[in-house]
Amino acid sequence: MKRSISILASLLLASGAVLASGDHKGHSGHGQGDKKAAAPAAGALADGEVRKIEKERGRITLRHGEIKNLDMPPMTMVFRVKDPAMLDQVKEGDKIGFTAEKVGGQYTVMSIEARK
Ligand SMILES: [Cu+2]
Q: Ligand 1 center to residue 75 CA distance, Å?
A: 5
**pLDDT at residue 2, rounded to an integer:** 58
Average of per-residue pLDDT across 40-63 = 88
Q: Which long-range contacts (CB under 8 A, 24 or more apart) does 41-44 make?
A: 41/68, 41/69, 42/69, 42/99, 42/101, 43/99, 44/68, 44/69, 44/99
Q: Ligand 1 center to residue 102 CA distance, Å?
A: 11
Q: Ligand 1 center to residue 97 CA distance, Å?
A: 14
pTM higher than 0.85 for the full model? no
Domain 46-114: homologous superfamily in CATH: Copper binding periplasmic protein CusF (2.40.50.320)
Average of per-residue pLDDT across 66-85 = 97
pLDDT of 27 over the 50 cut: no
Q: Ligand 1 center to residue 45 CA distance, Å?
A: 14
Q: Ligand 1 center to residue 35 CA distance, Å?
A: 26
Among 21-25, 74-78, 86-90, the range scoring the smallest mean pLDDT is: 21-25
4 or 80, higher pLDDT:
80
pLDDT of 3 over the 50 cut: yes
Domain ranges of the chain: 2-38, 46-114
38 or 79, higher pLDDT:
79
pLDDT of 101 over the 80 cut: yes
